[in-house]
Amino acid sequence: MNYFIFRNNTIERFFPKGYIFSGYDDISVIPDTADGYVWFFQLPVRINERTLCEEIRGYSEKLNLVLDQVASFKPMFLLTMDEFPSIPITSGVALKESISGYNISLFEAQKAHKNVYVLDIREFTHQYAENDLIDWKFWFISQMGLNPRLSKPFMDWFNRKLSQVSLKRKKCLVLDLDNTLWGGILGEDGINGIKLSGSYPGKAYHLFQETLKELCKNGIILTICSKNNEGEALDALDNNPFMILKKGDFSSWRINWKDKVTNIREIAEELNIGLDSMVFIDDNPSERELVRQVLPMVAVPEFPVQPYELPVFCKELVEQYFRVYSITVEDKNKNEQYRANALRTRSQRTFTDMESFLQSLNIHIRIETANEFNVPRIAQMTQKTNQFNLTTRRYSESDILSRLADGWEMYCMSVSDRFGDNGITGCILLNGYEIDSFLLSCRILGKGIESAFLKTVLTGLRDRGIQSVTAEFIPTAKNAQVAEFYDNCGFTVIEKKEDGTKAYSLDLTTADLNVKPYYSVIE
């Protein structure tokens, strides 16, 4: 990444190689070749409080000047200002006010600009004592406003924040039950004997469950993998009066005496998600080790030995795997959808042929072009979709906006059926007559919707007099299932490379673009 950083102190050591730095407190140069920008102004060292406050106010004004000039499709990260290093001679109240005024101006900039993200440095600095945050020796010899020995943890924090912004987070928690969701062992202590409320340690588990419930509300999928008797465990979930998490909060479970590796694999398959989007939580170190050894792509954090350590564990869990910049409505409904899918799988079994099953589903496909409401979702899908993704090109929200400005056409598809509304689960990005990206959420696969979507979009092009389109398949470790997709849709291969990449074209004047009658398509 080629980021350009506006700054007022020496901070080179805190950022990866390849970043470019402005002069100190200098906004005269704003290179437009940068992929993005960072704004990192630290509290200057001034003894006079009034001058100091004025200087800080000046920073807000400079920031606004810069914001007016950077391209609105390039990301810009603003770091807040912390209250160190301060040498207060007067009361310090005015200083505190101007720092908070400056930070508020950052958050306002975030509200006003789609490409602006505030990263609150206090999340990082609050872990340290003020005397550890600055080493005055390095301030005087190099104008470093932050202790150079904190560069490594700072970089970890900064990178984590950046990856949250680009939505590279986990999707699913796989939870053990005994001594994880509650204290004690259900099989021995019974439904009312397990520790979940009242005094310690029950209180600690109660708080852990509350955290998980919040994550669930925010779209994280909860599942259970536990060595227990299924009936007994489900009974405890629904009938222990202190239980926060009920059976309905879990999208899938494997409560049995089989090994956890097999169970986790099955859960991933059932929910149609990758193992690398799962986090496994278990108090038993040997279970954790087994999963780490056999399924290294599953994240397995250490679990606290003492229940009173659970709050810190919760914080780290959220921070490391599930913190995300903005949560979309689709995320919140995802749990509903995964559950409805399980219901669909069950009802599928009663039909003898696929066609009559599909007919019975009452599928409605809505296709819309890109607009201000669906752009975040389009970006999110390009970031998160791995399996049904023909080219796996990742775009941020600002990438999407800049391509739309370049004249690309983008189509989003939402699907609903008699079991529920899946929201936006597919998109096609057209760069002229080239299908740049075609992707679908795995939640809706297996119903022929993918070709109905593509054919509808292509029909629209044909009706406008366009004669042919081109497309591409780029293989990845995860998208083997779509290797033949375009071939099956009647596209002609025009080039096949050694790495498996295929280029296609399709003659729209002769192509079969008929959509099966049981899909009702709304454009």
Partner 1 sequence: MEEKILIIMKEVFGIEDIDETCSQRTCEKWDSMAHLNLVLELEDEFGISLEPEEIGIMTSFETVCQMVAKKAEK
Residues in the site for partner 1, rule: CB under 8 A? 10, 12-13, 137-138, 140-142, 144, 148-149
Q: How far apart are CA 304 and CA 370, in angstroms?
A: 46
DSSP letter string over 269-322?
Answer: HHHT--GGGEEEE-S-HHHHHHHHHH-TTSB-----SSGGGHHHHHHHHIIIII
**Residue 141: CB minimum distance to partner 1, A:** 5
**Residue 137: CB minimum distance to partner 1, A:** 6
Query: Which C-beta is closer to partner 1: that of 142 or that of 505?
Result: 142
489: helix, coil or strand? coil
Task: Please count the residues of the chain.
Answer: 523
Query: Which C-beta is closer to partner 1: that of 16 or that of 500?
Result: 16
- Nearest residue to 42 via CA among 72, 82, 90, 2: 82
**Residue 45: CB minimum distance to partner 1, A:** 16
**Residue 160: CB minimum distance to partner 1, A:** 23
Query: Which C-beta is closer to partner 1: that of 140 or that of 308?
Result: 140
Query: Which whole-number Å values give the CA distances from 438 to 372, 393, 473, 522, in the listed order?
Result: 20, 10, 10, 19
Rg of the chain (C-alpha set): 27
Query: Which C-beta is closer to partner 1: that of 17 or that of 346?
Result: 17
Query: Which C-beta is closer to partner 1: that of 142 or that of 431?
Result: 142
**Residue 21: CB minimum distance to partner 1, A:** 10
Query: Which C-beta is closer to partner 1: that of 143 or that of 284?
Result: 143
Please name the residues in contact with 244: beta carbons below 8 A apart, sequence gap of 6 or more. Answer: 206, 209, 210, 212, 213
Query: Which C-beta is closer to partner 1: that of 14 or that of 250?
Result: 14
Tokens 């941020």, located at residue: 396
**Residue 399: CB minimum distance to partner 1, A:** 32
**Residue 14: CB minimum distance to partner 1, A:** 11
Task: Walk across the sheet containing 502-507 and list its strands.
Answer: 492-496, 502-507, 468-473, 434-440, 420-431, 409-417, 364-369, 520-522
Asked if residue 391 lies in contact with residue 437, where contact means CB atoms within 8 angstroms, the answer is yes
**Residue 151: CB minimum distance to partner 1, A:** 9
For the chain, how are helix, strand and coil distributed in percent, rounded to 5? 45, 20, 40
Query: Which C-beta is closer to partner 1: that of 13 or that of 516?
Result: 13
